[in-house]
């Protein structure tokens, strides 16, 4: 049977697996079935431990629709706790993780032999269209007007934190509107690789409220990289100050440190929910097991 661990960061849940335990590489069909909440384990994605030649550990991040994400702040915290809890970190509290969106540094904060809080150096925010990417000439992507496929219009600040984020500042957060507009922006023609979407309302110079439509996953209770993108956009637009920004989401609050050089540090809780194993029958039918 194929072992796995399930954890969550503020309700954003992931399954952690080791590539060495798989009979063959994951494909879209298998990822969709494992992540399905009725027909599989159920999760917002899969974190796959892989070898790396440029960091202590390698990580591939798969969305429930089978697409691959460059980076995930919640996923990295879950993965870091998994590495500590299951002996892969060999007692080290700080280590590097190689993601598609770059190498990051994770620090597990251990107390009484337990890790419930992880910080991640998430890299640097970029507001250049070529980094996101967006179609058209290379330009700064602050307060960009976008026409939606249904004829509506929004003004967005688009930022890459190793993966793309489209941040729309609003006067009032509305879940129904986030669910309606989110997919229109995720697949907007200006984003050839699609984008994550955040609807943000400033609650103070160091506080931000957001709702999230995640690329490949849909409406999500919390997201670490979305918090980084939204906090960066809030500082860039003058809504918040450089420094620590509390980002409040339906699942809870993360703190993002936005430094003057636009480097980002994510701080937040993490919890392991359970460990288990995919049955031989499931592995044979969906993962090509013997």
- Running DSSP on this structure, what letter comes out for residue 260? T
Report which secondary-structure segment, H or E, holds 117.
strand 114-124
- What are the b/e assignments for 155-173, b being 16+ CB within 10 Å? ebbbbbbbbbbbbbbbeee
The pLDDT tens digits for 205-244 are 999 999 999 999 999 999 999 999 999 999 999 999 999 9
Across the range 107-117, mean pLDDT stands at: 92
What is the C-alpha end-to-end distance of the chain, expressed in Å?
Answer: 10
Q: Where in the chain is the domain with CATH 3.10.310.10?
A: 2-123+271-286, 126-261
199 pLDDT band, cuts 50/70/90, is very high
Q: Is the model's pLDDT at 198 over the cut of 80?
A: yes
What is the pLDDT, as a whole number, of residue 289?
Answer: 56
- Tell me, which fold does domain 2-123+271-286 have in CATH? Diaminopimelate Epimerase; Chain A, domain 1 (3.10.310)
Tell me the whole-structure pTM to 2 decimals.
Answer: 0.94
The pLDDT tens digits for 171-189 are 999 999 999 999 999 999 9
Which superfamily, per CATH, for 126-261? Diaminopimelate Epimerase; Chain A, domain 1 (3.10.310.10)
């Amino acid at each position: 049977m194929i072992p796995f661990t399930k954890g969550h960061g503020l309700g954003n849940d992931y399954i952690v697996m080791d590539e060495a335990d798989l009979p063959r590489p994951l494909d879209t069909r298998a990822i969709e079935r494992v992540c399905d909440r009725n027909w599989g384990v159920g999760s917002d994605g899969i974190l796959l431990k892989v070898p790396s030649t440029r960091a202590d550990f390698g990580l591939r991040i798969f969305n429930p629709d089978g697409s691959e994400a460059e980076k995930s702040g919640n996923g990295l915290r879950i993965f870091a706790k998994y590495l500590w809890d299951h002996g892969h970190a060999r007692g080290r509290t700080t280590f590097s993780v190689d993601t598609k969106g770059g190498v990051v540094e994770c620090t597990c904060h251990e107390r009484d032999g337990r890790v419930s809080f992880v910080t991640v150096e998430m890299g640097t925010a970029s507001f250049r269209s070529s980094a996101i990417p967006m179609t058209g000439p290379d330009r700064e992507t602050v307060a960009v007007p976008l026409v939606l496929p249904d004829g509506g219009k929004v003004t967005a600040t688009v930022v890459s934190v190793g993966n793309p984020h489209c941040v729309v500042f609003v006067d009032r957060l509305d879940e129904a509107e986030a669910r309606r507009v989110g997919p229109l922006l995720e697949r907007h023609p200006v984003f050839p690789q699609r984008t994550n979407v955040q609807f943000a309302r400033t609650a103070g110079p160091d506080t931000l409220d957001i709702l999230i439509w995640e690329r490949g996953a849909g409406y999500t209770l919390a997201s670490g990289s979305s918090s980084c993108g939204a906090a960066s956009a809030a500082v860039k637009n003058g809504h918040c100050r450089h420094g620590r920004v509390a980002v409040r989401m339906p699942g809870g609050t993360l703190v993002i440190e936005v430094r003057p050089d636009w480097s980002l540090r994510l701080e937040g809780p993490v919890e392991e929910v359970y460990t288990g194993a995919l049955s031989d029958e499931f592995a044979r039918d969906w993962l090509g097991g013997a």
